[in-house]
Amino acid sequence: MEELERMTLTAPCLYDPAVEALIRPVGREVCYPANKVFSRPGDRLSGIYYILEGRTKHYMDNENGSVKLLYTLTKGWFFGETPLLLGLPTGLWSQTEEETRLCLLPYPQCSRLMGEHPPFRDALMRCLAHKTLMLRYETASLTFNSCKDRLKRLLCASVDPERETDPGWYELRVRYTHHQLGEIVGVARVTISRQLAELAGEGFLRTVNRRLQVNREQYHQYIGEKGKALTSSLP
């Protein structure tokens, strides 16, 4: 399941209370409301960010207004480490998707923690490694998979198997809009609406009170099929 999450740009949870305990005393906490853009391409960051609570998305755009989402991150994740390591300004937009609390760790403190505390260094390296895998899987998905399959992967990775509200149907952990689904899958909103309608017609999903639900039987069938494929593709 964690491998499927990496293939959807929706990052798995990496929260480690021991790492957070190292960060809090030397970082500065900041809080942003939902949908707040707090970093833009060309900005020189004063440190790396650590997510205490909430959810952020990180993306690129072009002069025509097209947007490509790279990944969404949740509690326990770092970002801004690439500018730290390369000494470059950030090349991404960073925006909250819900009310979010961050801890900004100044670069000198980050360097010190990397040298003095192996758990901190290892956590930072895990974040980089996970992002590399997510982007590798995304490249493969865009190259080899249809829009419908990419959408199914995202929905299955977002399923919460503990939330079976009605017999045979799973709720999603994230409440996506059609626009958000389009950003993640990499297609226009109208295409997402058409693909969702097709998946509903196939019995894969349904909408109840404006929330998407995935059919339990088809979810487990899909997870089983993709699990076999993932086993042979891991690094």
CA dihedral 18, 22, 24, 30 (to 10 degrees): -90
pLDDT of amino acid 7: 43
Indicate if 135 and 150 belong to the same structural domain.
no
Indicate if 126 and 72 belong to the same structural domain.
yes
The CATH number given to whatever domain includes residue 155 is 1.10.10.10
Interhelix angle for 189-201 vs 147-157, to 10°? 70
The CATH number given to whatever domain includes residue 24 is 2.60.120.10
pLDDT of amino acid 230: 40
Cα 73 to chain centroid, rounded: 4
Indicate if 24 and 78 belong to the same structural domain.
yes
89 vs 3: CA distance, rounded Å: 30
Which residues in 76-85 are b (16+ Cβ under 10 Å) and which e?
Answer: bbbbbbebbe
Indicate if 46 and 160 belong to the same structural domain.
no
6 vs 123: CA distance, rounded Å: 17
pLDDT of amino acid 32: 97
109 vs 18: CA distance, rounded Å: 17
Task: Give the range of the structural domain holding residue 135, as residue numbers without chain letter.
Answer: 2-142
Indicate if 116 and 204 belong to the same structural domain.
no
162 vs 201: CA distance, rounded Å: 25
Domain termination site, one of 115, 142, 169:
142
74 vs 78: CA distance, rounded Å: 9
Domain termination site, one of 142, 167, 185:
142
Indicate if 41 and 113 belong to the same structural domain.
yes
Token pair, residue 26, equals 């030397």
97 vs 176: CA distance, rounded Å: 10
Strand partners, 61: 67
Indicate if 126 and 212 belong to the same structural domain.
no
pLDDT of amino acid 153: 87
Indicate if 8 and 64 belong to the same structural domain.
yes
What are the per-10-residue average pLDDT scores of the chain (235 residues)?
47 81 95 96 93 93 83 91 87 94 94 94 91 84 87 87 84 86 87 95 93 92 67 37
- Specify the number of domains making up the chain: 2
Q: Which residues, 6 or more positions from 209, have their beta carbon under 8 angstroms from its beta carbon?
A: none
168 vs 182: CA distance, rounded Å: 27
pLDDT of amino acid 158: 84
pLDDT of amino acid 2: 46
Indicate if 50 and 132 belong to the same structural domain.
yes
Indicate if 130 and 156 belong to the same structural domain.
no
Indicate if 202 and 105 belong to the same structural domain.
no
**Side chain identity at 91, as an amino acid letter?**
G
**pTM of the predicted structure, to 2 decimals:** 0.76
Tokens 């500065």: give the residue. 28
Indicate if 7 and 88 belong to the same structural domain.
yes
Domain termination site, one of 82, 110, 142:
142
